């Protein structure tokens, strides 16, 4: 029977591309989302992928949501922590609420989703935890102290999970996308977008499908010796 994959933030942007790619690769896919019911319904109708609504910032909601997914599809064996938000502001203007909202979703959300599925992965001696971090978690970014801190924290969490899970057949890896042609990036003023592209040696924005292909690679049974790794996918913009 096909393995079950759950993608948080899986109905839009990079998450939607990941959900589609995993389904095409033969997985039974569940896509989590937090708020946009219309987008989730349209995505499900288009793809046939089941969607489940809860906030990854709420631990109890994650436990309940995972129980719903597992009742419908089976135990989650591949977890893709993709859900994330931004609340940008220069540090001297950043509010405690802007800080906490981003940390709660982007960092604590990875804990909230991974912690409940971890015991089952240990028992079954198989698991894949793939977390979508960011180029800005590697290099920092003006106006994104909260976001950069959360995404850098995801990398430390991933490396630690890799050490704990390895002997149980669990791998934990991260992907750091650069600037991808999502709705959010395409909505910025053209001059700003051109300036961003000017910093990318490849001379273009990335495509969501390029991140999705990295996920399917890391999710495969054959990727079992890749653990604690960070795939940097940014067109040569930043080297680690």
What's the pLDDT at 189? 87
What percent of the chain lies above the pLDDT cut of 70? 100
Please name the helix (run of DSSP H) or strand (run of DSSP E) that holds residue 173, with its range, or none: strand 170-177
**For 57-66, 73-82, 179-188, which range has the lowest pLDDT when averaged over its residues?**
179-188
- Quick one: average pLDDT of 207-225? 98
Tens digit of pLDDT for each residue in 6-36? 999 999 999 999 999 999 999 999 999 999 9
User: Which tokens in the block code for residue 167?
Assistant: 């002997």
Residue 128 has pLDDT above 90, yes or no: yes
Rounded CA-CA distance 24/12 in Å is 17
Chain centroid offset of residue 147 CA:
14
Count, residues in the chain: 240
Helix (H, G, I), strand (E, B) or coil at 41: helix
Q: How many CA atoms lie within 13 A of 178 on its CB side?
A: 21
Please name the helix (run of DSSP H) or strand (run of DSSP E) that holds residue 157, with its range, or none: helix 145-165
Residue 224 has pLDDT above 90, yes or no: yes
pLDDT band with cut points at 50, 70 and 90 for residue 62: very high
Residue 38 has pLDDT above 80, yes or no: yes
What's the pLDDT at 183? 84
Residue 129 forms beta bridges with which residues?
79, 172
Please name the helix (run of DSSP H) or strand (run of DSSP E) that holds residue 218, with its range, or none: helix 208-219
- Quick one: average pLDDT of 117-144? 98
Rounded CA-CA distance 103/88 in Å is 12
What's the pLDDT at 186? 86
pLDDT band with cut points at 50, 70 and 90 for residue 206: very high
Residue 1 has pLDDT above 80, yes or no: no
What's the pLDDT at 92? 98
Point out the residues that are catalytic.
147
For residue 12, count CB atoms less than 10 angstroms from its CB and return exposed for 0-12, middle for 13-18, buried for 19 or more: buried
What's the pLDDT at 185? 84
Instruction: Name the DSSP class of 2.
Output: P
Task: With beta carbons less than 8 A apart as the criterion, state whether 127 and 165 touch.
Answer: yes
Average pLDDT along the chain: 97
Rounded CA-CA distance 195/182 in Å is 16
What's the pLDDT at 140? 97
Contacts (Cβ under 8 Å, ≥6 apart) of 90? 142, 143
What's the pLDDT at 81? 98
Contacts (Cβ under 8 Å, ≥6 apart) of 120? 75, 76, 127
Rounded CA-CA distance 93/212 in Å is 35
- Which of the pair, 226 or 186, is modelled with greater confidence? 226
């Amino acid at each position: 029977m096909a393995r079950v994959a759950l993608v948080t933030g899986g109905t839009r942007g990079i998450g939607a591309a990941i959900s589609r790619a995993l389904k095409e690769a033969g997985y039974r896919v569940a896509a989590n989302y937090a708020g946009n019911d219309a987008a989730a319904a349209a995505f499900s109708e288009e793809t046939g992928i089941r969607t489940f609504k809860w906030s990854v910032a709420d631990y109890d909601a994650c436990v309940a949501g995972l129980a719903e997914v597992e009742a419908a599809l089976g135990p989650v064996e591949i977890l893709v922590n993709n859900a994330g938000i931004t609340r940008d502001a220069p540090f001297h203007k950043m509010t405690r609420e802007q800080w906490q909202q981003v940390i709660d979703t982007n960092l604590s959300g990875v804990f909230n989703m991974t912690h409940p599925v971890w015991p089952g992965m240990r028992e079954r001696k198989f698991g894949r935890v793939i977390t979508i971090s960011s180029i800005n978690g590697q290099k920092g970014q003006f106006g994104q102290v909260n976001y950069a801190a959360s995404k850098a924290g995801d990398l430390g969490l991933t490396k630690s999970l890799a050490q704990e899970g390895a002997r149980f057949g669990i791998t934990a890896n991260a992907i750091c996308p650069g600037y991808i042609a999502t709705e959010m990036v395409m909505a910025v003023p053209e001059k700003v977008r051109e300036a961003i592209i000017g910093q990318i040696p490849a001379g273009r924005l990335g495509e969501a499908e390029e991140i999705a292909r990295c996920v399917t690679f890391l999710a495969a049974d054959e990727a079992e010796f890749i653990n604690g790794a960070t795939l940097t996918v940014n067109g040569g913009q930043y080297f680690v």
